[in-house]
Amino acid sequence: MTDPVIRIRGLENRFGSHVVHEGLDLDVRRGEVLGVAGGSGTGKSVLLRSIVGLQTPTAGLDPIGALAFDRLMRELVAALGLTVFLVTHDLDTLHALCDRIAVLAERRVLACGTMDDMLEVDHPWVRDYFHGPRGRAARGLPPLDPDRS
């Protein structure tokens, strides 16, 4: 395992009395694409701004633009050996780009690993997110209930 280029330990973010992150730990390894996933309000964008002051790169892109972004990002990572910290709700992008995924929930990193690792996490939100209809579609699987596509 390579040494992290970003190491976060005990991060806390608060807005008044509202706690966004509490004791959040996360490592980003050199040369990897780490995706950060989580439900609305879990602090994904707050985490990104806490680290580098950036915004979600694919925000507002249509599916064709997002696909072009995914391809370009993969090419840049391969050609330049970039490390990428990516915040997205888009399961297609997580599946296409990310070496690892960090899931934010309950004010912390609830799970961190490969897409295959995420499919094994026994937590209700993680199961719903990665095994739901969009998660199945991102993995090229048919819907569980063909009448509900």
* 44-81 residue pLDDT tens: 888 888 887 555 556 667 778 888 888 888 888 888 88
Predicted confidence (pLDDT) at residue 95 exceeds the cutoff of 70: yes
Pair (78, 109) in one structural domain: no
- pTM over cut 0.75: no
Residue type, 60: G
Q: Which two tokens stand for residue 10?
A: 């005990």
Clarify whether residues 64 and 7 are in a common domain.
yes
Average per-residue pLDDT for the chain? 85
pLDDT at residue 85 tops 90: no
- Inside any domain, residue 123: yes
Number of helices (H), then strands (E), belonging to the chain: the values are 6, 6
CATH number of the domain bearing residue 70:
3.40.50.300
Whether 113 and 46 map to the same domain: the answer is no
The whole-number pLDDT of residue 55 equals 52
Domain total of the chain: 2
Q: What's the pLDDT tens digit per position in 7-37?
A: 999 988 888 888 899 999 999 999 999 999 9
The verdict on residue 22 lying in a domain is: yes
Same-domain check for residues 1 and 41: yes
